[in-house]
Amino acid sequence: MTSAMKRNFLSVGRIWFLVMFCLMFCPDAQALAYSKSNAIHQPAVWHLSDRIPGPPGLSPLPIVKEKDAGIELARISRCQIDKMRRHDLVVAMQMGEKLNFFPELSSGSQAAENAASGAKQDSLRSSGLENRIQVCAASFEDEKVVEEPEDWNEDNPSETIADPLEPVNRVFFAFNNKFYFWVLKPVAKGYRYVIPEPFRIGIRNMFTNIAMPIRAINCLLQGKVRGFGRELLRFVVNSTAGFLGFADVARIGMHVEAQDEDFGQTLGFFGVGPGIFINWPILGPSSIRDSVGMAGDYFVYPVNYLVPKTGENIAVRGEDRVNRTSLSIGDYEALIKSALDPYVAVRNAYFQYRRAEIEK
Partner 1 sequence: MWQSLVGMILIMAFAVTAFAGDPTEVIRKTTDKIIAIVKNPALQGPEKKKERDRLIRDAADEIFDREEMSRRTLAQHWRKRTPEEKKEFMDLFEDLLEKTYIDRVEGYSGEKVLYEGERIEGNYALVKVEIMTKQDAKIPVLYRLKKTKSGWLVYDLSIEGVSLINNYRTQFNSIILDSSFKGLMKKLREKVGKQ
**Interacting residues toward partner 1 by CB under 8 A:** 40, 42-45, 140-141, 143, 145-147, 149, 152-154, 159-160, 197, 201, 248, 251, 327-328, 330, 334, 337-341, 344-345, 347-349, 352-353, 355-357, 359
What does the alpha-carbon distance between residue 200 and residue 216 come to, in Å, rounded to a whole number? Answer: 24
End-to-end CA distance of the chain: 37
Q: Which residues contact 160 (CB under 8 A, 6 or more apart)?
A: 154, 348, 351
**132/347 with CB nearer partner 1:** 347
C-beta closer to partner 1: residue 86 or 185: 185
Between 59 and 348, name the residue whose CB sits nearer to partner 1.
348
For the bound state, the minimum distance from the C-beta of residue 85 to partner 1, rounded and expressed in Å, comes to 28
Q: How far apart are CA 77 and CA 81, in angstroms?
A: 6
* Nearest approach, Cβ of residue 228 and partner 1 (Å): 21
Q: How far is the CB of 74 from partner 1 (least distance, A)?
A: 11
**DSSP run (H or E) holding 176:** helix 166-178
Residue at 123: amino acid letter: S
For residue 225, the minimal CB distance to partner 1 (Å) is 24
DSSP state of 181: I
CA distance 204 to 175: 26
Contacts with 284 (C-beta within 8 Å, 6 or more apart), sequence order:
176
Q: Least separation, in Å, of the C-beta of 341 and partner 1?
A: 5
Q: Are 215 and 261 spatial neighbours (Cβ–Cβ below 8 Å)?
A: yes
Q: Which is nearer to partner 1, 312 or 319 (CB)?
A: 319
- The alpha-carbon radius of gyration of the chain (Å, integer) is 23
Non-local CB neighbours of 20 within 8 Å, separated by 6+ positions? none
When the beta carbons of 277 and 299 are compared against partner 1, the nearer one is 277
Looking at the Cβ atoms of 92 and 358, the one nearer to partner 1 is 358
Q: How far is the CB of 12 from partner 1 (least distance, A)?
A: 30
